[in-house]
Each structure stands twice: as structure tokens, then as C-alpha cells.
């Protein structure tokens, strides 16, 4: 009963610190929680230390991580405490190399119905993020390992982390991953996004290769949306070529949305031409694609003019708030 009361008291104290970052006893409450050896309390305290930027409480984070790494399944089921600690160190900009290196390799297989499940994917991604952020010389190696992680979310995060590097050293690794492929379109979408972020001049041509019919529809969709979201002018020509080519019916909407996402005049001009002179089905796709930008009053008027009588009902339905201004 005493342990339960102590847990309840610490949980309530942490809630008070969450509500009031200037709580007079915040530092002591967080230090007590970090030393509690309770995975839940430590995970909450670590998150608060990060959120409130309490860099002076780094030592308890280090100490707690070392303790939870010993007998990790028993002491920290679901890997929540260790992950929260690593995320806090990343948020605080701490070059905690030893912790990040341990966590980047950690696999925690816990029993589940019918077998075992790795619960440490979040820890691995947080630690690789920390190694990249701290400029670790082996960061790319850790990213490569994470890019081959068994867990989809870890591979996806690895691809996105590589896109945040201010170097082109990540480009060969990302292009190789694109060629090798992945069972999850989400991972390849992240790969495409990072390639376009690192090299907006040449990567559109490379990513556009994945618009070809030889690739499954989900891969084509991922490539198209990444090209659109990149806002790279060089992406317009391949996207228009794809939209005008023999693509699957289910991808036509994606084609027009991707072109609209470029948010450049040439893209919107092309869509407006389709609305005015294209076949009705394509004109409808173009109107829908541009409806996401109903806040742009000038664009709305252009869509209305281009749509004329044949698109009048659809334009009024999709742009009603803007047209009533």
C-alpha cells in the first residue's frame, strides 16, 4: 500500500509540474521521479524535462538510462522510459554519444500472443536522430542500419532523417534504397521526399522514374505526391507527362493533386487550361485539386472563369466559402 501511495503522490506531483512549469518544487519533483526506478514515472519526468528545457537535469537522464538498460524487459517493458530519455536528450541538444550508440543498436523482444515483438524501434530512431543532430562521424552508418530496420516506422524515419542532413553524402544511400525498394510505400515516400529536399535540381528527374507503369500504383502515387510537395519547378514537366499518359484511372486524381501541390503559376495555369478545355472527367479532377487553395481569392475567380457553365455547380460546391465573400 505504501508503494501505491508513493506512486500516486509522485504522479500527482508530476501533473502539477506539467500544469505549472514555474512550480516552486519542479526541480525536486522531477529529480525524485527520475530516481524512482518506475518506468512510467521516469518517462513522464523525462518528457517534462525536455518540454521545459531543463538542461540542468541531464545527469539524472543519463543515470536512469543506464539503470533501465540492465534487465530492460523487466525494468522497462515497452521501452517507454528509455525512449523518453533518448528523446529528451535529443530535444535538449545533448551529444549523448554513448547513450545514442547503445540505443541505436538496442532490440527489445517482448512476449506477445503468438510470439515476440520488438518494442525498441522508437528508441532506435530517437538515438539515430541524436547521432545525426550531434554531428557524429558515424551518423550515416547508423542511418544505413536504420534504413534496413525490420520495423516500418524505423525505416521511414531513417529516410526522413537523411533528408535533414546538410550534405549530399546521403544521396547515394537514398537512391540505392529507392532502387532496392521496400515492402511499404510509406518508406519509399519518405525516401523520395528526402531526395527532393537534398537535391531539388536533379532529384525530380530521378524520382519521376517511379511514375512509370512498371512500378506498382502505390509507388507511383508516393513518387507523384513527393514531387508535388517538393514544390520544385523541375517536377512540373514529368508530372504533366504522367497526367497526360496512360495511367491507371485510380491515379488520375493523384496526378492533378500532385500538380496543384507544386503551388507555382505554371502548374496552376496548366490545371486551369484543363478546367477550361479538357475532357470533363479531367476538368473535375483539376477543380478538386485546386479547391485546397480556396483561400486564394484570385485563384478562385480564375477557376470560376475557366469552369464556365459546365463546371459551375462543382465550383460553387467546392468554393462556396470563397465565392460568398
Q: What is the pLDDT along the chain (325 residues), one digit of tens a residue?
A: 556 778 889 999 999 999 988 888 988 999 999 999 899 999 999 999 999 988 888 899 999 999 999 999 999 999 999 999 999 999 999 889 999 999 999 999 998 888 899 999 999 999 999 999 998 999 999 999 999 999 999 999 999 999 888 667 899 999 999 999 999 999 999 999 999 999 998 999 999 999 999 999 999 999 999 999 999 999 999 999 999 988 888 899 999 999 999 999 999 999 999 999 989 999 899 989 998 888 888 888 888 888 888 878 887 888 876 665 5
- The domain of 39 spans 1-169
Q: Would you say residue 103 lies in a domain?
A: yes
Identify whether the C-beta of residue 279 lies closer than 8 Å to the C-beta of residue 306: no
CATH number at residue 34: 1.25.10.10
Reference 315, options 272, 278, 279, 277; nearest CA is: 272
Q: Would you say residue 35 lies in a domain?
A: yes
Instruction: Indicate the angle between helix axes 121-133 and 80-91, nearest 10 degrees.
Output: 20
Q: Would you say residue 36 lies in a domain?
A: yes
Q: Would you say residue 42 lies in a domain?
A: yes
Domain count, the chain: 1
Task: Report CA torsion sign: 131, 133, 135, 137.
Answer: positive
Identify whether the C-beta of residue 12 lies closer than 8 Å to the C-beta of residue 23: no
- Residue 92 CB-density burial (10 A; 0-12 exposed, 13-18 middle, 19+ buried): middle
**Eight-state DSSP code of residue 245:** S
* Structural element, H or E, at residue 117: strand 115-118
Q: Would you say residue 231 lies in a domain?
A: no
Q: Would you say residue 77 lies in a domain?
A: yes
Q: Would you say residue 305 lies in a domain?
A: no
Q: Would you say residue 182 lies in a domain?
A: no
Amino acid at each position: 500500500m505504501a508503494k501505491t501511495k508513493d506512486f500516486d503522490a509522485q504522479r500527482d506531483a508530476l501533473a502539477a509540474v506539467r500544469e505549472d512549469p514555474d512550480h516552486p518544487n519542479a526541480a525536486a519533483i522531477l529529480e525524485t521521479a527520475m530516481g524512482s526506478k518506475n518506468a512510467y514515472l521516469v518517462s513522464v519526468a523525462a518528457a517534462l524535462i525536455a518540454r521545459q528545457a531543463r538542461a540542468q537535469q541531464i545527469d539524472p537522464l543519463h543515470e536512469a538510462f543506464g539503470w533501465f538498460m540492465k534487465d530492460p524487459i523487466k525494468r522497462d517493458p515497452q521501452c517507454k522510459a528509455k525512449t523518453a530519455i533518448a528523446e529528451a536528450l535529443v530535444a535538449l541538444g545533448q551529444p549523448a554519444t554513448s547513450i545514442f550508440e547503445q540505443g541505436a543498436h538496442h532490440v527489445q523482444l517482448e512476449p506477445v500472443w503468438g510470439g515476440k515483438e520488438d518494442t525498441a524501434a522508437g528508441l532506435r530512431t530517437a538515438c539515430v536522430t541524436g547521432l545525426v543532430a550531434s554531428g557524429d562521424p558515424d551518423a550515416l552508418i547508423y542511418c544505413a542500419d536504420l534504413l534496413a530496420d525490420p520495423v516500418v516506422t524505423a525505416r521511414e524515419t531513417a529516410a526522413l532523417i537523411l533528408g535533414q542532413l546538410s550534405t549530399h553524402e546521403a544521396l547515394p544511400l537514398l537512391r540505392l534504397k529507392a532502387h532496392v525498394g521496400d515492402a511499404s510505400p510509406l518508406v519509399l515516400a519518405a525516401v523520395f521526399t528526402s531526395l527532393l529536399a537534398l537535391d531539388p535540381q536533379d532529384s525530380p528527374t530521378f524520382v519521376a522514374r517511379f511514375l512509370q507503369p512498371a512500378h506498382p500504383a502505390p509507388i507511383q502515387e508516393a513518387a507523384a505526391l513527393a514531387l508535388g510537395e517538393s514544390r520544385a519547378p523541375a517536377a512540373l514537366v514529368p508530372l504533366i507527362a504522367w497526367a497526360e499518359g496512360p495511367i491507371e484511372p485510380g491515379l488520375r486524381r493523384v496526378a492533378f493533386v500532385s500538380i496543384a501541390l507544386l503551388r507555382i503559376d505554371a502548374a496552376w495555369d496548366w490545371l486551369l487550361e484543363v478546367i477550361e478545355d479538357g475532357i470533363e472527367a479531367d476538368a473535375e479532377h483539376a477543380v478538386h485539386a485546386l479547391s485546397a487553395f480556396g483561400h486564394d481569392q484570385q485563384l478562385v475567380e480564375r477557376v470560376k472563369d475557366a469552369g464556365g457553365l459546365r463546371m459551375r455547380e462543382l465550383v460553387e460546391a467546392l468554393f462556396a466559402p470563397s465565392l460568398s465573400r
